[in-house]
Amino acid sequence: MSRDVNPFGLRLPPELKEELERLAEQNRRSLNAELIVRLEESVQREGQTCITAEEIRQIVEQALAKAGKG
């Protein structure tokens, strides 16, 4: 990422920030990088009318991971 990006203050509920920090650590990214990846994915999905095979795979993996924790 370029160094000419201006800082952007963001207020998050503490619980959401903690969850994003946990996910960032799990994905071996900084909190900033995690937020960028998630925002980019969200923007890319905007306007899509169908779910992709990759999205199905991610949903299934997330569901299986959650099921294994419970």
The per-residue pLDDT for range 27-47, each reduced to its tens digit, is 999 999 999 999 988 888 777
Predicted confidence band at 7 (pLDDT cuts at 50, 70, 90)? confident
Flag whether the pTM goes above 0.95. Answer: no
Shortest CA distance to 14 belongs to which of 6, 2, 22, 26?
22
Kindly give the residue spans of alpha helices, DSSP state H, lying in the chain.
14-26, 31-45, 53-69
Cα 24 from Cα 34, distance rounded (Å)? 5
Cα 9 from Cα 24, distance rounded (Å)? 18
Cα 19 from Cα 47, distance rounded (Å)? 27
- Residue 37: the pLDDT is 94
- Residue 15: the pLDDT is 93
